[in-house]
Amino acid sequence: MSDGKQTIGWGSDLMAQALREQEVEWVFLNPGSSFRGLHDSLVNYLGDEKPKIALATHEAIAVSMAHGYAKASGKTGYAILHNLVGLMNGSMGVFNAFCDQVPMVILGGSGPADPAQRRFIDWAHSANTQGDLVRPYVKWTDEPATLDGAMDSMLRAGRIARTGPPGPVYVSLDAGLQEEVVEPGRETGADLPRYRPPHPVAPDPEAVERVARALLEAESPLIVCGRLGIDPRATAPLVRLVEATGAAYLDDRCIVCLPTRHPQNLNGDKKIRSEADVIVALDVHDLTLATKGYGTGRSQIMGIGAGSEGAHVVDVSLNDWFGNSWARFGGPTPPLDDQIAADPLRALEALAEAAERLGGDSTRIAARRAALGDRHAACRAASAAKLEERRAESPVSMQRLTHEVYQAVKDEDWRLVVRNHRSWQDGYWDFPGCGSYLGGDGGGGVGYGPGAAVGAALALKDTGALPVAIIGDGDFMMAPGALWTAVHHGAPLLLVLMNNRSWGNDELHQREVAKHRGRDVARAHIGQRTEDPICDLAAIARGFGAWSSGPIEDPDALAPALHEALARVKRGEVAVVEVITSLD
């Protein structure tokens, strides 16, 4: 029996029960006949409770929802994809999750493996090794041939997904096994304590002491922090480390770790990276980008400021245990002067303790902190001046938009679950530290935002936290159906749409190429703008059941619209505010 509902009678009942025993709360899916047995078991055997089904309008949205859910909840995300075609649709989301190192289990229906059980469509939609579609960018795949094998595979999948460095895994569940009759009273055989992931890898004490000394003895130390930004536990030891060492601090791309107002936080300072003589990178995706930068000369659009060529570089991560030779994600093999290959949080805590214990020249560290405080204040002043300069612009400047959204939600228990990448403006949103922003998409796959925002909203539902998402029009137009899922499940969400009516990042690239080649920059919009006709994104949002406002072009109209949107979200609704924004 399962909660008194029905007796286990089918293979898929065992599969569903295994999900419940692993405490899976939500499964994200777009329906498919290859997992019709499992779908029935989730609905009729488990009663659509623990796990509960979140219906998505596209497989890519389902995977992005599982991605956003995992980051917001700190748990493993689960998605179910229909055989080959569903997996093909969802594969971009799988790559995003792989690059973002998010624990996720993708279950796929397949087969039946027995040719005698196949319908005509099963032949078209089945493969000898279905997992080959995503094998290059998952941690592990399996296609179990027996029901006992499926039970073992599902348990093993959860363990592997959570083992550091985490990431997605793929398990194909044969349709014939799902619809296999099983004897009454059969159990899953799950012994969950035996399938727990291993303890985090502890850092080498000698390496910790060596790196702490290097920070303390440096003239201009710099700490850069990355993926740890989604874990609230990392804030306190990070603050302790930067204060004990007097180091300058920068966030890695698309993350927030150190509190915004901390005087050693120099996000926005374009020179500090080039001045560093010691750079310690904590859980950073691309060490080259975080340290010396890419000096190819091809583009300035993604430039973040060059680092010092002579800096002593330390990598604190599990990067050498992640990835494979298929994708070039993470950049070239970086030159390292030292390394701590360990669980990043454990290493950070150990570094903070070592730096405090070792001490250092307190006078010199105090002077360094004071100088950094002055530079921090100068960055804040420059941001404030830029806001005043662009306050009245229409279309709305990104400075004004970011400022107004923060002013609207600052007194709430907010979480910024998704934000724009290239056009994000530092200095207008005060983050308390790690866990307040859930980071980027990982692999740069556009279309992540709507699904991830909704997955996060489902994870935060009934917690009292207010999910806020700021996404672009291109991201939204790829996956607007995600809103329906949020509305259907009553997951409050405030979503701000920045509509520059262009694939803005690429239009800037076209401008840059044309300028470099001495060609007509005025034609850079061709093949980029979504105009003639104008897309009414607020109307699209209403069509999926959300409350919406806009399009807003007058910057003074933004605050009242956000005030109404916030009131709606606090009443449990999904609210969308469309803002016409500038391209740069």
- Residue reference for tokens 């959570």: 162
pLDDT at residue number 304:
56
Sequence-separated (6 or more) residues with CB below 8 Å from residue 61: 30, 93, 447, 450, 451, 454, 479, 481, 482, 485
Q: How confident is the model at residue 296 (pLDDT cuts 50, 70, 90)?
A: low
pLDDT in tens, 353-398: 999 999 988 999 999 999 999 999 999 999 999 999 999 999 999 9
Residue 415 has pLDDT above 50, yes or no: yes
Residue 4 has pLDDT above 60, yes or no: no
Residue 222 has pLDDT above 50, yes or no: yes
Name the residue with higher pLDDT: 218 or 505: 218
Q: How confident is the model at residue 1 (pLDDT cuts 50, 70, 90)?
A: very low
Q: How confident is the model at residue 526 (pLDDT cuts 50, 70, 90)?
A: confident
Sequence-separated (6 or more) residues with CB below 8 Å from residue 460: 72, 415, 417, 466, 467, 491
Residue 448 has pLDDT above 80, yes or no: yes
Q: How confident is the model at residue 124 (pLDDT cuts 50, 70, 90)?
A: confident
Residue 534 has pLDDT above 60, yes or no: yes
Residue 2 has pLDDT above 70, yes or no: no
| Ordered domains of the chain (ranges, CATH) | 11-195 (3.40.50.970), 205-380 (3.40.50.1220), 391-580 (3.40.50.970)
pLDDT at residue number 328:
83
Q: Which residues of 423-450 are buried (b: 16+ CB within 10 A; e: fewer)?
A: bbbbbbbebebbbbbbbbbbbebbbbbb
Residue 303 has pLDDT above 90, yes or no: no
Name the residue with higher pLDDT: 211 or 508: 211
Q: How confident is the model at residue 3 (pLDDT cuts 50, 70, 90)?
A: very low
